[in-house]
Amino acid sequence: MMSQTIQDRRRPAAVQRVNHLSHARLPRWAQPAIAVASIAAGCGIGLAAGWHSKVQWGLLAAMIFVLASFVITTRVEGARQAKDRVATSVIWVSFILAIVPLLSLSWVTISKGIEVLDPYFLTHSMNGVLDAAPGGGLYHALLGTIEQVALAALIAAPIGLLTAIYLVEYGGGTLAKAITFFVDVMTGIPSIVAGLFILATWNLMLGFGPSGFAGSLALAILMMPVVVRSTEEMLKLVPNELREASLALGVPKWRTILKVVLPTAIGGITTGVMLAVARITGETAPVLLLVFGTKLINPNPFEGAQASLPLYVYEQYAVGTDASIARAWAGALVLIAFVMLLNLVARGIARWKAPKTGR
Amino acid sequence: MATTAHSEVPPPKGPAIETTKTKNKVRPGDRVFLGLSRGSGITLLVIMAAIAAFLTYRAALAISKDEGNFFTTFEWNPAGDPPVFGIAVLAFGTVVSSIIAMVIAVPVAVGIALFISHYAPRKLAAPLAYVVDLLAAVPSIIYGLWGAIFLVPYLGGLNKWLDQYMGWTYIFDKSSPGVARNLFTVGILLAIMILPIITNVTREVFLQVPRMHEEAALALGATRWEVIRMSVLPFGRSGIISASMLGLGRALGETMAVAVVLSPSFLISGHLLDPGGGTFAQNIAAKFNEADEFGRDALIASGLVLFVITLLVNGAARMIIARRKEYSGANA
Amino acid sequence: MKLQRKNGLRATALGALAVSGALVLTACGSDDNTGGSGTGGNSGEKTTAASNIDCGDAKGQLLAAGSSAQKNAMDLWVKNFQAACSGVEINYQAIGSGGGITKFTQGQVTFAGSDSALKPDEVTESQKVCKDGKGINLPMVGGPVAIGYNLPGVENLVLDAPTLAKIFDSKITKWNDEAIAKLNPDAKLPDTAIQAFHRSDESGTTQNLHKYLSTAAPNEWKHDPKSKSWLAPGGQAANGSSGVAAAVKGAENSIGYFELSYATAQSIPTVSIDTGAGAPVEATTENASKAIAAAKVKGTGNDLALELDYATKAEGAYPIILVTYEIPCDKGNKAETLPTLKAFLNYTVSEEGQKVLADAGYAPLPTEIAAKVREIVPTLS
């Protein structure tokens, strides 16, 4: 017996593979090898044909890779395995194709942005600096954005949160249906329209001048539906047993919501709010209409023109000199860093506060 | 699946609880809280309704004075005498660039989502998911900046290649010279923008595929691809669709990135590689600053059309999500 | 469990870091850009000029918005004015002429900057904000609109209005077209397609080119001359003058139009215009000033709206020009900003104010017109 099995095991390795229980398989190094070979082929052909665009080289290499792995696997392992291989390589290729532009975006922003980004840039305004000339900084814009976004969040988060509570905990009637419908409608508002609406009401009808607060109002309009939608989803995830248990103990409904439902969902809700904040931080159009923009530091969001970070990036890009485009990149980098920071904080809170159940 | 204790309980919704409330006397605290939450709901409703009314009113003002046909005119000159403007070109450009974006982004996003959920080494998967999440939050003005300065020059070669070898397909025939600031490039940029969004949602859905399904398939000797095709994709199909709708909504309304990259014109051309065309949001951004009161109303009218399109997309997504809940709710 | 708590701590730490970072940021910002390494001094403005500015009772914040064509001039003026008069903030946002006028008639800004004079209905509109008065056009900056091109091996390209019109209307599509060859007998024109660039946004620059083409080449240019957006089919578009300039710079065999300052900044060669005068006219600030000097005032009373002669055949007068106005109220300006407004406009129209323009690629106002503006500014109330 023993010797027979040993022989059985040895034979497939030595001779043709005749074992019917396990298919012939490509060695582990085959896939990377094919990848390297096809990249080389792609670059080679690209170079030979004199294509300038590296994108084409990449596409060609990807096509060769998929094709080669299909052909080789069909020969060695059979049709079903070949399909699997192709799927695997297509998925790898799509992943790499997608990650390249995204990495390029991050890399370009960081490498370009870092050029003029220094403590001086972060702590000074553009006061007295010509837009076309080098110098200055973005402190005024950063401060403006932080204040506007904070105010917008202060307005939108409570309204959005309470609305979501109404929809999930008390909803079901016509009013709730109407609200759900209009929240959906609201998500489709082009951001410039929100700006126009505030301009027509707050500034023209009520006669207020441009200010950071006017910008916050428009941003709040854009933020509300996002908060409602995400909070709604989170509240729906709270198990009904928790509510029932609390109510059964004679706890009033409002206390149940405040003490049981909300704490359970708080992680997800915070994430939703933070993500909404991150989303509105990058809005340019409504801010352009309402906060006016300035080169000076204005710490008071309720009075006088304020600057804003996305607006700053857009303006500096539009000026079009080398110095201003360098400032635009630096502004973009600070903007990304700010949004990323918010995101990280949000995720941190979500993980920290998430109910310790499930996966 | 339907035998677990959880699925026996009705889904957490108000009515179930409201029945218990009727038995008790309503407490003042409850009344205040209900008032508060209903109040903010109504506030939101009022704001929304006001915006919708405002938009419709201004749009009606503009359209009533339009001397051309609002839906078929190939021109945008509300300041002219007589004022003539129409959305035909914008609708075409918006739809075409969004379609290109979807055709590229959806398969690739599903690929990335599968990669993260099923293919990537465990140690790589978590950070990757994290990175994709972060990329979804990058402000669009930055995509625009990157697109105009880096993507456009890089796509020049690809355009030339497509023109040379695929020119016979008509849509890839480049009939006028110029850099790649066309609807095709816009489509690609939009695809890159919405990729992280679609990937995020799709990945979440894939992670919810019952492990049992997959393990059962594996045990029957299915290859990894067969597992995905037979258990993961069917389960996630509606999730993929609603994620795509979400991405589509973003692509339709994208403003700054398109405005910075596209070389617009008021012409409809099937040659996707020729510069030209326009989208609703891009047109608003480009024309808004110089427009007078009436011109702004005209732009609002075009915004209203975009608004309706987005609403339809949103509604479709919501319906699909609702249907998915019906038949797979027990699985969750 | 333990792991999760660790993450939680990390998150709190991160949050704390963010908050404290924001706090630190709020504490240490500065408006002072006079010292330090970052200040740009290479743009040729005369910093010594600041000492002669008469600040009057100027104080506080003054908002203005409008034309982006005069942005660079405004930037210079504001910089010099603020350097001389402490406690004053002039905030000019280059959002476009139309936007500036809208903001002005809505009472959101003290004055608007515009590439074209107020239209009659806009004047009526302005009476709402100007108590007992109306908005008036004060010409402040002039400038040539340069036709820049990128054609390797060809220098001193000469074109006339009909040829330009045909190029921008896609009627002439090759550089070696007969019409171009006739105007440039010595140039070696390539057999390549012309890439004509125009503005994708609405703009007074486009409008002035339209007006020039339809006045000087009425048979070749049939599009609405008053339109601020480009109406001709074909060609390529880019956002803003900077966008067009960058596009022309980056693409061979291209042609486009933008303010002269963009051509100088990016060293793009410009077309000389054959106006029918003895020699083709180069796009320079002096030549533009000559053309502006031929303009007639068509406004009445305090209103100094100009009628430009785009078809001028005067020797050395560059016909594609643009005059931008400042538009305040003649009466009924807001009391709190009036002193600042007067002091600032007083400076911009003064000899000093006009002198800094040439370095930035603008044309100073002809002395006659400037003198009229100087008379009107002190009467604003």
Instruction: Please provide residue A242's backbone torsions phi and psi, each rounded to the nearest 5 degrees.
Output: -65, -45
Distances, alpha carbon C239 to alpha carbons A163, A283, B285, C197, C230, in Å: 41, 19, 10, 10, 12
Helix (H) or strand (E) holding B47: helix B28-65
**pLDDT tens digits along B194-216:** 888 888 888 878 887 888 888 88
Residue of chain A whose alpha carbon sits nearest to that of B151: A101
Chain A neighbors of C268, CB-CB under 8 A: none
Contact A199, C102 (CB under 8 A): no
Tallying the residues shown for chain B, one arrives at 332
- Read off the pLDDT of each residue in C344-358 and give the average, rounded to a whole number: 89
Distances, alpha carbon C58 to alpha carbons A197, B302, C84, C337, in Å: 34, 44, 11, 8
Residue C237 contacts B where some CB pair is shorter than 8 Å: yes
C11, C41, C79 ranked by CB distance to A351: nearest:
C11
Interface size, chain A vs chain C, as Cβ–Cβ contacts under 8 Å:
151
Write the Ramachandran bin of A119: left for phi over 0, alpha for psi from -120 to 50, otherwise beta: alpha
Cβ atoms within 10 Å of C375's Cβ, excluding its own: 12
Minimum mean pLDDT range among A27-41, A79-93, A297-311, B157-171: B157-171
Please name which of B29, B19, B35 lies closest in space to residue A255, comparing C-alpha atoms.
B29
Range 26-55 of C in CB contact (< 8 A) with A: 26, 28-34, 36-43, 45
What is the secondary structure of C77-110 as a DSSP string?
Answer: HHHHHHHHSTTEEEEEE---HHHHHHHHHTTSSS
- A306 beta partners: A292
**pLDDT tens digits along C84-101:** 888 888 889 888 888 888
Chains linked to A by 3 or more Cβ pairs within 8 Å: B, C
Contact A136, A129 (CB under 8 A): yes
Interface size, chain B vs chain C, as Cβ–Cβ contacts under 8 Å:
84
Residue B129 contacts A where some CB pair is shorter than 8 Å: no
Taking 90 as the threshold, does the pLDDT of residue A160 lie above it? yes
N- to C-terminal Cα distance for chain B?
A: 9
pLDDT (0 to 100) of residue A14: 45
Measured between CA atoms, how close is B76 to chain C, in angstroms?
8
Cβ atoms within 10 Å of A21's Cβ, excluding its own: 4
Burial class (CB in 10 A: 0-12, 13-18, 19+), B301: buried
Please name which of C23, C63, C78, C72 lies closest in space to residue C258, comparing C-alpha atoms.
C72
**pLDDT tens digits along A175-193:** 998 888 888 777 767 787 7
Taking 50 as the threshold, does the pLDDT of residue A359 lie above it? no
Taking 80 as the threshold, does the pLDDT of residue C173 lie above it? yes
Band of residue C49 on the pLDDT scale cut at 50, 70, 90: very low
Measured between CA atoms, how close is A24 to chain C, in angstroms?
43
B11, B48, B303 ranked by CB distance to A185: nearest:
B48
Put simply, the answer to whether C265 touches A321 (Cβ < 8 Å) is yes
Percent of all residues in chain C with a pLDDT value above 70, rounded to a whole number = 88
C106 vs A207: CA distance, rounded Å: 9
C96, C235, C250 ranked by CB distance to B290: nearest:
C96
C241 vs C247: CA distance, rounded Å: 10
**CATH class given for the domain over B53-328:** mainly alpha
Put simply, the answer to whether B286 touches C253 (Cβ < 8 Å) is no
pLDDT (0 to 100) of residue B40: 92
C234 vs C250: CA distance, rounded Å: 19
Taking 60 as the threshold, does the pLDDT of residue B326 lie above it? no
Contact A293, B289 (CB under 8 A): no
Chain B neighbors of A184, CB-CB under 8 A: 311, 314-315, 318
Residue A340 contacts C where some CB pair is shorter than 8 Å: no
Angle at B97 between CA A279 and CA A59, to 5 degrees: 95
Selected residue with higher pLDDT from B173 and C367:
C367
| R_g of chain A computed on alpha carbons | 29
Put simply, the answer to whether A341 touches C18 (Cβ < 8 Å) is yes
B191 vs B102: CA distance, rounded Å: 7
Range 59-98 of B in CB contact (< 8 A) with A: none
C29, C79, C243 ranked by CB distance to A130: nearest:
C79
Percent of all residues in chain C with a pLDDT value above 90, rounded to a whole number = 21
Chain A neighbors of C197, CB-CB under 8 A: none
Contact C66, C37 (CB under 8 A): no
B294 vs B83: CA distance, rounded Å: 9
| Strands of chain A, DSSP E | none
**pLDDT tens digits along A51-62:** 666 667 777 888
B83 vs C280: CA distance, rounded Å: 38
Taking 60 as the threshold, does the pLDDT of residue C190 lie above it? yes
Contact B93, B286 (CB under 8 A): no
What is the secondary structure of A232-298 as a DSSP string?
Answer: HHHHHHS-HHHHHHHHHTT--HHHHIIIIIHHHHHHHHHHHHHHHHHHHHT--HHHHHHTB--SS--
Residue of chain C whose alpha carbon sits nearest to that of B180: C236
- Read off the pLDDT of each residue in A159-177 and give the average, rounded to a whole number: 90
Percent of all residues in chain A with a pLDDT value above 90, rounded to a whole number = 19
C176 vs B280: CA distance, rounded Å: 38
Put simply, the answer to whether A94 touches B307 (Cβ < 8 Å) is no
Taking 50 as the threshold, does the pLDDT of residue A7 lie above it? no
Contact B249, B193 (CB under 8 A): no
Contact B266, B274 (CB under 8 A): no
| Strands of B95-247, DSSP E | none
- Read off the pLDDT of each residue in B128-150 and give the average, rounded to a whole number: 83
- Read off the pLDDT of each residue in A107-131 and give the average, rounded to a whole number: 88
Put simply, the answer to whether C236 touches B181 (Cβ < 8 Å) is yes
- Read off the pLDDT of each residue in A124-146 and give the average, rounded to a whole number: 87
Residue of chain A whose alpha carbon sits nearest to that of B105: A98
Residue B288 contacts C where some CB pair is shorter than 8 Å: yes
pLDDT (0 to 100) of residue A219: 94
Chain B neighbors of C204, CB-CB under 8 A: 290
Put simply, the answer to whether C96 touches B76 (Cβ < 8 Å) is no
Chain C neighbors of B79, CB-CB under 8 A: 226-228
- Residues sharing a CB contact under 8 Å with residue A216, sequence separation 6 or more, in sequence order: A147, A148, A149, A151, A152, A155, A301
Taking 80 as the threshold, does the pLDDT of residue A339 lie above it? yes
Measured between CA atoms, how close is C298 to chain A, in angstroms?
32
pLDDT (0 to 100) of residue B4: 40
pLDDT (0 to 100) of residue A52: 65
Cβ atoms within 10 Å of C318's Cβ, excluding its own: 29
- Read off the pLDDT of each residue in C357-362 and give the average, rounded to a whole number: 83
Band of residue B324 on the pLDDT scale cut at 50, 70, 90: low
**And the tokens for B216?**
């059962």
Selected residue with higher pLDDT from C265 and C355:
C355
Residue A218 contacts B where some CB pair is shorter than 8 Å: no
Taking 60 as the threshold, does the pLDDT of residue B327 lie above it? no
pLDDT (0 to 100) of residue B119: 85
Q: Which residue out of B289, B294, B296, B299 would a mutagenesis test of the C interface target, given it has the greatest number of C Cβ atoms within 10 Å?
A: B289
Q: Which residue has the tokens 């503006």?
A: C373
Selected residue with higher pLDDT from C107 and C36:
C107
Measured between CA atoms, how close is C145 to chain A, in angstroms?
17
Domains of chain A with CATH codes: 30-114 (no CATH), 139-357 (1.10.3720.10)
Tallying the residues shown for chain C, one arrives at 381
Taking 70 as the threshold, does the pLDDT of residue B265 lie above it? yes
B140 vs B254: CA distance, rounded Å: 8
B225, B284, B318 ranked by CB distance to A184: nearest:
B318
C290 vs C316: CA distance, rounded Å: 7
Percent of all residues in chain A with a pLDDT value above 70, rounded to a whole number = 89
**pLDDT tens digits along B29-75:** 888 899 999 999 999 999 988 888 888 888 898 888 888 888 888 88
Put simply, the answer to whether B139 touches A187 (Cβ < 8 Å) is no
Q: Which residue has the tokens 């996707």?
A: B272
Q: Is omega for the bond preceding B82 within 30 degrees of 0, making it cis?
A: yes
What's C132's DSSP letter? Answer: T
Helix (H, G, I), strand (E, B) or coil at B182: strand
- Displacement of CA C288 from its chain's centroid (Å): 14
Selected residue with higher pLDDT from A216 and A59:
A216
What's B35's DSSP letter? Answer: H
Crossing angle of the two packed helices B88-114 and B233-253, in degrees rounded to 10: 140
Helix (H, G, I), strand (E, B) or coil at C347: helix
Torsion angle in degrees (nearest 10) through CA of C78, C84, C87, C88: -30
> What is the overall mean pLDDT for chain C?
83
Put simply, the answer to whether C98 touches B291 (Cβ < 8 Å) is yes
Range 292-321 of A in CB contact (< 8 A) with C: 292-297, 299, 304-305, 318-321
**And the tokens for C110?**
């003290």
C240 vs A337: CA distance, rounded Å: 28
Contact C123, C327 (CB under 8 A): no
How does A237-255 read in b/e, with b if 16+ C-beta sit within 10 Å? Answer: ebebebbbebbeeebbbbe
Put simply, the answer to whether B178 touches C236 (Cβ < 8 Å) is yes
How many Cα atoms within 13 Å fall on the side-chain side of residue C268? 31
Helix (H) or strand (E) holding B32: helix B28-65
